[in-house]
Structure formats: structure tokens, C-alpha cells
Amino acid sequence: MHVVDHTKGQPSESETRNVLTESARIARGKITNLARLSAANHDAAIFPGGFGAAKNLSTFAVDGKDCKVHEDVERVLKEFHKAGKPIGLCCIAPVLAARVLRGVEVTVGHEQEEGGKWPYAGTAEAIKALGAKHCVKGVSEAHVDQKNKVVTTPAFMCETELHHIHDGIGAMVKKVLELCGK
């Protein structure tokens, strides 16, 4: 959508980036275009979230509950779901599943801001408007939708210390691996 200068918290007008190139830089390893991802070749899919999920993997940042999901993201979610393979999503990424997988249970944390601790609490209402069930969870917890094999955790939807976010993401990954039988 656009490049953000995180030192200023504002879009950088003079800079452009390629999502695939940035992904390779951040991951420091071999990556593949999402268009090539197939449930047949993997045990699970995990979407790490971050504001990029709301801006580049969907239009949620602009359109809220009326968002569209990137066609490859939608395909991957549906393919893994149909194959009965686990899907993990954290931070804002659960809105992707809420949009694509009707009736799915997800969490983005709490439903009230609680004095600024949960600044994106309104996302829970958008999830409900998309036809999904929002389950209130703490930042260090993960919610498991056993029926749909979808595991979610709030991550950076909460203003807290990093170790609490780490614990929640770890819980999500652990539950995804358990659903894989690992």
C-alpha cells in the first residue's frame, strides 16, 4: 500500500518497496511467492500479521469489515482449510480468516480498549460483522478453533511488554504444531 517511516510514524512519500523483496530481507532466507504455496506440500500455514496484513494482504486498513482479501491469501486459506490442515494467524491477521472462512472462531484480544491497553479493540466488532466469532483472550494466550483447525493470538494488538507477545505467539505455534500431530 505504502512505505511507513517508523521513526516518524508516517508514510514515506519518496520511497517504494516490494513486498517479496522485503519479506526476503526480514526472513533472511529462501522465500517463495505466495502464489506457489500449496497445502499439498506443507503441514500448516501461519500468517504472522502486522499492519502489512491489513494493508497488503487485504484492504482491511482502509475498508474495515468491507475489506477484500488478496486472491492468493484467500486461496491459501481455503486450500489449507479444505485439506484439514492447521492455520495460525496472529496480530491483525485473524481478520483474513474471518473474511474468508465463514463462522470461524478467532481472537484479536479484548473487545474494550481498557485505557489504551487494547488500542485496536474495535477490530473485534469488525470480525463479528464478517460473520466470525470473536473469542476474548489475553495477549499471552492462543485461541484454538478445533472445528476449523484455526489458531489465533492477539500479539501486537495489545500494548504490553514484548515477552508477553512472545508467549502468545509461542502458544499459537505450539497449538498449530499439536494440530499437525507434531
What is the set of domains in the chain, with CATH numbers?
1-31 (no CATH), 38-180 (3.40.50.880)
CA gap 168, 164 in Å, rounded: 6
Return the bridge partners of 14, or none: none
The whole-number pLDDT of residue 175 equals 98
Neighbours of 45 (CB within 10 A): 20
Question: With pLDDT > 70 as the criterion, what percentage of the chain qualifies?
Answer: 98
| pLDDT tens column, 34-60 | 999 999 999 999 999 888 899 889 999
pTM equals: 0.92
Beta-carbon contacts of 85 under 8 Å, excluding residues fewer than 6 positions away, are: 39, 42, 43, 44, 45, 149, 180
pLDDT above 80 for 6: no
Confidence of residue 14 (pLDDT cuts 50, 70, 90): confident
Strands 133-134 and 105-106: parallel
Residue of 67, 90, 91, 135 with catalytic role: 91
In the annotation, is 91 catalytic? yes
Question: What amino acid is encoded at 128 in this protein?
Answer: K
Residue 131 contacts residue 102 (beta carbons within 8 Å): yes
**HSE of 95, CA atoms in CB hemisphere, 13 A:** 33
